[in-house]
Amino acid sequence: MFRGGEIVQLIKDCLFPIFCLDCQTEGEWWCKNCAQKSFTGGEFYCPVCHLKNLNGKSCFNCQAVSSLEAVAAFFNYQENKTVAELIRIFKYNLAKDINTLWSQINLEFLYSVWQSGGWPYSGITIIPVPLHTKRQRERGFNQADLLAKNIFEILKKDHQNIEFDNLNLQRVKFTKQQAKLNRQERLVNLKDAFIWKEKKSPTANIILVDDVFTSGATMQECARILKKAGAQRVYGLVMARD
Ligand SMILES: [Zn+2]
Ligand SMILES: [Zn+2]
Ligand closest to 63 (CA) is 2
* 118 occurs within a structural domain: yes
235, 126, 197, 65: CA torsion to nearest 10: 0
Q: Which of 118, 139, 237, 222 is nearest to 173 (CA)?
A: 222
* 200 occurs within a structural domain: yes
State the distance from the centre of ligand 1 to the C-alpha of 153, rounded, in angstroms.
Answer: 26
Q: Confidence band (pLDDT; 50, 70, 90) for 12? A: low
Ligand closest to 59 (CA) is 2
State the distance from the centre of ligand 2 to the C-alpha of 51, rounded, in angstroms.
Answer: 6
Ligand closest to 68 (CA) is 2
The predicted model gives 28-40 an average pLDDT of: 87
User: Each residue of 73-95: pLDDT tens digit?
Assistant: 999 999 999 988 888 777 766 55
Cα→Cα distances 103→34, 62, 130, 242, Å? 14, 32, 20, 21
Strand pairing report for 70-76 and 43-44: antiparallel
Strand pairing report for 70-76 and 233-241: parallel
The residue range of the domain holding 178 is: 41-241
Ligand closest to 216 (CA) is 2
Predicted confidence at residue 14, as pLDDT, reads: 66
Q: Which of 105, 115, 107, 117 is nearest to 39 (CA)?
A: 105
Residue 27 region, left (φ>0) first, then alpha (ψ -120 to 50), else beta? left
The amino acid that residue 194 corresponds to is F
Neighbours of ion ligand 2 (CB under 5 A): 46, 48-49, 59, 62
Q: Confidence band (pLDDT; 50, 70, 90) for 186? A: confident
Q: How many domains does the chain have?
A: 1
State the distance from the centre of ligand 2 to the C-alpha of 145, rounded, in angstroms.
Answer: 28
* 108 occurs within a structural domain: yes
State the distance from the centre of ligand 1 to the C-alpha of 211, rounded, in angstroms.
Answer: 21
* 154 occurs within a structural domain: yes
State the distance from the centre of ligand 1 to the C-alpha of 228, rounded, in angstroms.
Answer: 44
The amino acid that residue 52 corresponds to is K
Predicted confidence at residue 90, as pLDDT, reads: 73
Ligand closest to 33 (CA) is 1
- Three-state SS at 150: helix
Residues sharing a CB contact under 8 Å with residue 105, sequence separation 6 or more, in sequence order: 35, 36, 39, 74
State the distance from the centre of ligand 1 to the C-alpha of 21, rounded, in angstroms.
Answer: 7
Ligand closest to 45 (CA) is 2
Which of the pair, 19 or 95, is modelled with greater confidence? 19
State the distance from the centre of ligand 2 to the C-alpha of 45, rounded, in angstroms.
Answer: 8
Distance CA 124, CA 223 (A): 14
User: Each residue of 187-212: pLDDT tens digit?
Assistant: 888 889 999 999 899 999 999 999 89
- Strand blocks (E) in 45-145: 70-76, 122-128
Distance CA 201, CA 123 (A): 12
State the distance from the centre of ligand 2 to the C-alpha of 59, rounded, in angstroms.
Answer: 4
* 102 occurs within a structural domain: yes
Mean pLDDT of the chain: 87
Q: What's the Rg (C-alpha) of the chain?
A: 18
State the distance from the centre of ligand 2 to the C-alpha of 55, rounded, in angstroms.
Answer: 12
Ligand closest to 27 (CA) is 1
Predicted confidence at residue 97, as pLDDT, reads: 63
Ligand closest to 32 (CA) is 1
Cα→Cα distances 230→44, 94, 140, Å? 26, 35, 31
* 148 occurs within a structural domain: yes
* 204 occurs within a structural domain: yes
Query: What DSSP element (H or E) covers 235?
Result: strand 233-241
Distance CA 201, CA 220 (A): 18
Which of the pair, 69 or 214, is modelled with greater confidence? 69
Predicted confidence at residue 98, as pLDDT, reads: 62
* 61 occurs within a structural domain: yes
